[in-house]
């Protein structure tokens, strides 16, 4: 196993299901065979992709004697919710630095409600820089005698990305059991960790599948972050791999005016998957990636003799905080 040399704790329900989506394919009227990898079913406080990363990050924290997990994100951060759940499960304290903006006067639902139920100590950035607040809170905790372990946004460091190297090994085992192969892996790419882990896993195992990320916002410097983290993750695992520019496939977010803004495209994609396959996705991450997948299929980018795997990275709890916008 590629990640056997790394410390790891058990947090996720693995392996997650690998399912076919024939009714979605039929609804699109053409295109490739469609599979979905259900990382919304990892189990940790409604699941999600960050649980795989946290298995390695929490193990590092424990090895360093930490008694507190600390991370940051937006008010509806899936990563923060899963970090809070991991801390509760492992008997650790959790401190979350949430922004951007002031503490909401209402709307304590979705992931934010779960943060509270899980016992997280929530700090708000207000109009201040999130990284500055993170550093101040970490110093405050240390001065009070705590041993905080700071997890970067999204858990997107080599140890976290290793979670998706292990995920590719899991997928390869499932495909081998079925005697199947896939041509492409399509997923949402946000903070680079999942993307980098998938790339390293696919390359290390020699899978003949293209790893295709769909950004959940403007690409900006995301491609550079993915490239750097892919190299760092390769080194972290002691692997001898080389990557070319052709490996870093990243599509711009589809038809969106910005991060977290729900458009008719996301509303339609969420309803389509729910009503054809009974699978629920969020509007900010997996929903945005599904918009991209649907568009690529309709454009004819994927041929009918291909098999495309769509990786569901979770985030379903975030739906409930956006109900009014989704129904609008």
| Catalytically active residues, by annotation | 77
Cα distance between the two ends of the chain:
47
Distance CA 239, CA 272 (A): 41
d(CA 94, CA 115): 9
Rounded Cα gap, residues 123 and 120, in angstroms: 9
CB count within 10 Å of CB 70 equals 26
Nearest residue to 72 via CA among 8, 129, 4, 147: 129
d(C-alpha 146, C-alpha 68), whole Å: 7
Q: Report the run of H or E that residue 61 belongs to, with start and end.
A: helix 50-63
- CA 108, 109, 111, 117 dihedral sign is positive
E strands, the chain, are 18-20, 33-38, 68-73, 93-98, 121-124, 148-150, 184-189, 210-215, 249-251, 307-312
Cα distances (Å, whole numbers) of residue 141 to 66, 116, 123, 134, 254: 11, 19, 12, 11, 41
């Amino acid at each position: 196993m590629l990640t056997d040399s790394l410390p790891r704790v058990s947090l996720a329900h693995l392996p997650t299901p690998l399912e076919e989506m024939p009714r979605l394919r039929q609804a699109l009227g053409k295109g490739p065979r469609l599979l979905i990898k259900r990382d919304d079913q990892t189990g940790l406080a409604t699941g999600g992709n960050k649980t795989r990363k946290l298995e390695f990050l929490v193990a590092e924290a424990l090895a360093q004697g930490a008694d507190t997990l600390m991370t940051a994100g937006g008010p509806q951060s899936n990563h923060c919710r899963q970090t809070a759940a991991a801390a509760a499960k492992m008997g650790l304290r959790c401190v979350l630095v949430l922004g951007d903006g002031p503490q909401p006067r209402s709307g304590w639902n979705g992931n934010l409600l779960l943060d509270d139920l899980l016992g997280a100590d929530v700090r708000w950035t207000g109009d201040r820089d999130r990284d500055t607040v993170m550093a101040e809170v970490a110093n405050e905790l240390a001065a009070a005698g705590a041993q905080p372990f700071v997890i970067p946004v999204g858990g997107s460091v080599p140890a976290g990305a290793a979670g998706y190297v292990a995920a590719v090994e899991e997928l390869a085992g499932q495909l081998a059991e079925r005697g199947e192969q896939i041509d492409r892996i399509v997923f949402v790419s946000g903070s680079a960790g999942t993307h980098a882990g998938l790339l390293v896993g696919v390359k290390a195992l020699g899978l003949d599948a293209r790893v295709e990320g769909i950004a959940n916002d403007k690409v900006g410097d995301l491609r550079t972050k993915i490239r750097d983290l892919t190299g760092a993750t390769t080194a972290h695992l002691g692997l001898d791999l080389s990557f070319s520019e052709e490996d870093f496939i990243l599509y711009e977010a589809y038809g969106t005016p910005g991060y977290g803004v729900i458009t008719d495209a996301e509303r339609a994609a969420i309803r389509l998957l729910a009503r054809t396959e009974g699978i629920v996705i969020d509007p900010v991450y997996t929903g945005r990636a599904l918009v991209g997948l649907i568009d690529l299929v309709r454009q004819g980018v994927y041929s009918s003799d291909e098999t495309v795997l769509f990786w569901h990275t979770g985030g379903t709890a975030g739906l409930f905080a956006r109900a009014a916008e989704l129904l609008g």
